[in-house]
Amino acid sequence: MQDHPALLIIDVQLGMFQDDAPVHKGEELLSTIGDLIGRARAAEIPVIYVQHSGGQGHLLEPGTPGWPIHPVIAPVDGELVVHKHYPDSFRETSLQEELQARGIRHVIIAGIQTEYCVDTTCRRASSLGYEVTLVEDAHSTWDTGHLSASQIIDHHNQVLSGWFVTLEAACRIKFDTLP
């Protein structure tokens, strides 16, 4: 079976864009991810969404206004949505089985939150033997008491690159030339 790539979109849900504490450069992120999705679909590369399901009272609690995938980048009929409860998109989900069933061995990752779900999923995918491309300008987070969101993003791009991922700018992802 030939190995195929897929675009994996992690936790780009409405709650991440709340007015009182929106994700860093949220509108730019949506635009960049939307462009990636459009190009992947045009090249017939599968787009797979990971949707976090938080517990009661969590910003991403199922059934609450923050839980749906953002409508700007929402899945279309036939696209897979994997539900998760942990930062690791593989832990207690169907992601591994779904990727294997589709012959996918290369995941191109974008989404939220850089230092948790994006980082953990990149590392786990690498440990499971996947080729992993992290789209360096298509993941985001929030400022903390110690670091700005930009510093966190830059740090994780540097730390993950080489050992766990190939780092690539969104504009350099060429879905039509992937196997």
Q: At what angle do helices 119-127 and 149-160 cross, to 10 degrees?
A: 10
Residue 170 near residue 138 (C-beta atoms within 8 A): yes
pLDDT of residue 3 exceeding 90: no
Residue type, 133: T
pLDDT value, residue 90: 98
Is the previous residue joined to 100 through a cis bond, with omega within 30 degrees of 0? no
Top CATH class of 4-177 equals: alpha beta
- pLDDT tens-digit map of 12-60: 999 999 878 899 999 999 999 999 999 999 999 999 999 999 999 999 9
pLDDT value, residue 1: 38
Q: Show me where the domains of the chain are located.
A: 4-177
Residue 85: name the closest of 11, 167, 146, 2 by CA: 11
Residue 73 carries which DSSP code?
G
pLDDT of residue 179 exceeding 80: no
Structure tokens at 132: 């992993």
- pLDDT tens-digit map of 55-103: 999 999 999 999 999 999 999 999 999 999 999 999 999 999 999 999 9
Separation of first and last alpha carbons in the chain: 12
Q: For 78, left (φ over 0), alpha (ψ -120 to 50), or beta?
A: left
Helix (H) or strand (E) holding 47: strand 47-52
Whole-prediction pTM: 0.96
Separation between Cα atoms, residue 140 and residue 109, nearest integer Å: 12
- φ and ψ of 156, to 5 deg: -70, -35
